[in-house]
Amino acid sequence: MWATDKIIHILTYRNRPKLAQALRGSKYNLNETSTYGSRLYSRLTTVEVYAPIHKHDQLQKLSDEDKAEIISAFRVLYPIRDNDIEINWIEFLVDPESPIPKPSRQVSRLNEIDFVYITEQVSKCDEKIASADFEGAITNARNLLESMCKYILDDANEIYDEKADLSVLYRQTSQVLSMHPSQYAEKSFRQILSGCFNIVNGLAAIRNELSDAHGKSRTRHYKSDERHAMFAVGVAKSLADFMYASYMDRTKKTPN
C-alpha cells in the first residue's frame, strides 16, 4: 500500500479540491489481473483505495465522472504502456488500520483542514479578486486565518473566546504550535516569528480599514484596490501553510 499524496496533488492541480480532500488519509493498492488491455501485453488493473471509515461512505457515493477523474490522476503516475499495468477500475474499501471514531466523541473539525483546504479557500479569494471584489477577498483572507486558529485550538482542547480578535486568536495558537517568539532563544527565529505577528496585526488593520466587514464613515472611507487584496491573500496563504505545517510537526503527522 502507498499513501495517496501524489494523487492528491494532481487532483488539486486540476482544480478538483473536493476530490483531493475526499482521498486525504487514504492508501491504495494495485491489483493486477491476467487480462490483457489496450496495449501489447498490458494488464488490466484495479486501484483499491483503503480509506478511513469516516471517508469510506463519501467515496462510495462518488459519481462515475468523479471516479474517472481519479483513475485519470492515477494514470499520470502509471501511464498505459506495453507490458505494464493498465488501470481501468477503482474500488473503495475501509482501511482496517484506521481508527474507528467513538459515537460519543465529536470528530475534530481539524480533520477538514489541510493544504487542500487552504488551496480551496485561496482559490475563492482569487475568484473575488478576478471579479474586482477586493474587499471581499481581504475579508476571506482574514477568515482563513481565523478558521485555522480556531480549528487548531479546538483540536488542542484549548478554551478561547469565539468573538476574540484575530490577533488574540493567533497569539494563543502560536503558543500551542511553539511559534511564539518568546519560546526561542535564537535571535533569527525570534525575528521571523515576530514577523508573523506583524503580518497578522497588519492584516487585521488592513481588513478593518479597507474591507467590507465594518461600517464606512462618510468622512473617512478607505477603498481597497487589487494590490491590497493580492497582498492580503498572499500573506494569509503563506502564514496558513506555515501554521498547518507546524501543526503537523507538533502532532508528528504527514501533511497531505
The CATH number that applies at residue 54 is 3.30.300
Same domain, 126 and 225: yes
Q: Supply the pLDDT for residue 56.
A: 87
Domain annotation covers residue 136? yes
pLDDT recorded at residue 116: 74
Checking if the pLDDT of 211 tops 70, the result is no
* 172, part of any domain: yes
Are 232 and 128 in the same domain?
yes
pLDDT average, residue stretch 125-133: 88
124 and 49 in one domain? no
Instruction: Tell me the mean pLDDT in the region 211-218.
Output: 47
Q: Which amino acid is at 32?
A: E
> Is residue 58 located within the same domain as residue 135?
no
Task: Identify whether residues 160 and 217 lie together within a single domain.
Answer: yes
Q: Same domain, yes or no, for 86 and 125?
A: no
User: 22 with 58: CB under 8 angstroms?
Assistant: yes
pLDDT at 1 over 70: no
Residue 253 confidence class, pLDDT cut points 50, 70, 90: low
* Counted domains in the chain: 2
Tell me which residue range forms the domain holding 162: 109-251
Spatial separation of the C-alpha atoms in residues 96 and 86, rounded to whole Å? 26
Grid cell at residue 69: 477523474
Query: Does a structural domain hold residue 104?
Result: no
Considering the chain, what is the average pLDDT of its residues? Answer: 82
User: Which range has highest mean pLDDT (16-20, 163-167, 218-222)?
Assistant: 163-167
Point out the least confidently predicted range of 28-42, 96-110, 200-214: 96-110
Amino acid 105: pLDDT: 36
Residues 6+ apart with CB under 8 A from 93: 48, 49, 50, 51, 56
Contact 88, 75 (CB under 8 A): no
Q: Is the same domain home to 145 and 238?
A: yes
Predicted local confidence at residue 159, as pLDDT: 86
